[in-house]
Amino acid sequence: MQTKTFSLGDLSKIISLTDTDNDSVDFFYGEMDFLASGWNGQDCYISEETLMECADTVKGKFVTFKIQNFTQDFKSHEKDLQLMGYIDPSAEVHYRRLDDGRLMASVECVLSKIYCFDAFKIFHEEAYKSVSAEFSCNSHFNEDGKEIIDAFCIHSITVLGDGIRPAIENANIQIYKFSAEKMNEIYHIGKKNSLDEFAEEELNKGEDMAKKKLEEDVIMSESEVLAECSDVEEVKTESEEVEMGCDGDKLSDEIQLSEEEVETEDKKETEEKELSEDSEDKKDEQEEEPEQKEMSDDEKDDDEEDSDDKDDEDEEKDEPKKFSLNAYVDEAFLMEMLEKETEDNKAFVDRIIKEENLGDLISKALSMKKELDTFREEKRLAEVHQCEKKFAECMGEVKLTLDEDVYTKLFEEGKEIKDMESLNAFISKVKVCAYDSIKAKAEVNHEDNDVFVFAQNSMSNASFKKDDDVFNRIKNK
């Protein structure tokens, strides 16, 4: 029989793994989605009615597990499963509809920290694990040979390790403590954290301050308005006093007369202005006529557009925009602003160059560039030198085989070449010429003896035939 031992050291570890003093050393809590309606991984069907009737059998039952020592993870259904915790008999089974249409049953569970500390550690690493229910059931087979579960009685919920597929898709256990969302829910339902209370107080204080300030502003504005009103009233009273000092009829007559005079003067001025404008207009009539026509056309167009109303608004949007004088003013202002920005940026860059020693970096980059250029020049010169050398070698090889005219022609052509690619092409050309000339000479020297002499133009077959003795031939030479 397997025995479970624990030491006081476990308690200190448990306490070290808990975050607040409110946590119990004995328990940790979780929620399990343990069973769902519909078809499962064993090709068995559980109807929603069966689920809702029998899911309550989970109450008061156990949560089981077994740990694989090698991987430190949960295993699966084993014959020697350990108890991790239980489902409270007073717990409520909740049902919720999943996205795929199934009805999922879920229930809260209570788990032990001390007596399954290894499991607690695993949950501390990962708060979400798959689960599988173990139950006895009554079932029948339908016409298609599929098994339909009529009733069941749950014995335990087994926590599965990673990589083990649960028969019910998405059946899982989630530990509250290690789930941020659930933890918030729990802590807001239960005791409030002192930090939360402090934050709330601060928020309330801030709101009160803001309200007070607003009220003060309102009071200030009211007092200002009242002060202005009092000034106005003073002015009114002064004017009334002045009016009261004069005779009412005389004053009104005088005012009327003065008004008439002002009107007549205004009329004269407007007439004079009109006359002067007419004279000027007559001069400019011929110039303004087409403009007026255009204006009249535009007005007509405007009228037509007004009549078209909303349908033409989209067309107007498509037309190019006409800039007004204000737009140009804005543009000038914008240009000024941009210039100012560029100056600021320039100053900023100068400052950075000074502060970050970018000047040194730039000078270093420039020196490296110069060095690179010198290297490139050296490489080019080396290539030219190599070309010349190769050209000389090639021409030396073919000098004896080519005629003088051809040779000089080729030499003149080749001495201008400075790159290897075109030199290689030239060399192949020279070799072809050399081969042709050798072949031609061989044909000239060819006689009926069917001996083909290649590159031995200095020794004729005739001389070879005349004297077979090699010593004599050398002597004759």
Site residues for other proteins per CB under 8 A: 35, 40-44, 75-79, 132-137, 141, 145, 147, 155, 158, 163-168, 171
Considering beta carbons, is residue 132 or 174 the nearer one to other proteins?
132
Distances (CA, A) of 204 to 192, 197, 207, 369: 16, 11, 5, 65
Give me the least distance between CB of 98 and other proteins, in Å please.
Answer: 16
Give me the least distance between CB of 15 and other proteins, in Å please.
Answer: 34
Considering beta carbons, is residue 43 or 208 the nearer one to other proteins?
43
**Buried/exposed 289-309: b ≥16 CB within 10 Å, e otherwise:** eeeeeeeeeeeeeeeeeeeee
Give me the least distance between CB of 143 and other proteins, in Å please.
Answer: 13
Give me the least distance between CB of 126 and other proteins, in Å please.
Answer: 18
Considering beta carbons, is residue 9 or 145 the nearer one to other proteins?
145
Give me the least distance between CB of 356 and other proteins, in Å please.
Answer: 58
Considering beta carbons, is residue 1 or 8 the nearer one to other proteins?
1
Sign of CA dihedral 44, 48, 54, 59: positive
Q: Strand, helix or coil at 320? A: coil
d(CA 103, CA 38): 8
Considering beta carbons, is residue 171 or 434 the nearer one to other proteins?
171
Distances (CA, A) of 143 to 45, 47, 51: 13, 17, 22
Neighbouring residues of 170: CB distance < 8 A, sequence distance ≥ 6: 33, 36, 98, 104
Give me the least distance between CB of 69 and other proteins, in Å please.
Answer: 13
C-beta of residue 125 within 8 angstroms of C-beta of residue 46: no
Q: What kind and span of H or E run contains 63? A: strand 62-65
Residues constituting the chain: 477
Considering beta carbons, is residue 134 or 383 the nearer one to other proteins?
134
Distances (CA, A) of 251 to 199, 235, 242, 256, 260: 73, 20, 11, 9, 14
In sequence order, the β-bridge partners of residue 63 are 85, 157
Q: Which of 18, 17, 11 is nearest to 114 (CA)?
A: 11
Give me the least distance between CB of 210 and other proteins, in Å please.
Answer: 58
d(CA 437, CA 406): 10
Considering beta carbons, is residue 80 or 249 the nearer one to other proteins?
80
147-159 and 62-65 strand pairing: parallel
Neighbouring residues of 290: CB distance < 8 A, sequence distance ≥ 6: none
Give me the least distance between CB of 40 and other proteins, in Å please.
Answer: 6
Considering beta carbons, is residue 26 or 78 the nearer one to other proteins?
78
Give me the least distance between CB of 49 and other proteins, in Å please.
Answer: 18
Residue 126, φ and ψ in degrees, nearest 5? -145, 115
Q: Within a 13 Å sphere around the CA of 180, how many CA atoms are in the beta-carbon half?
A: 0
Give me the least distance between CB of 62 and other proteins, in Å please.
Answer: 14
Where do we find the tokens 């077979």?
Answer: 468
Considering beta carbons, is residue 156 or 401 the nearer one to other proteins?
156
Considering beta carbons, is residue 40 or 174 the nearer one to other proteins?
40
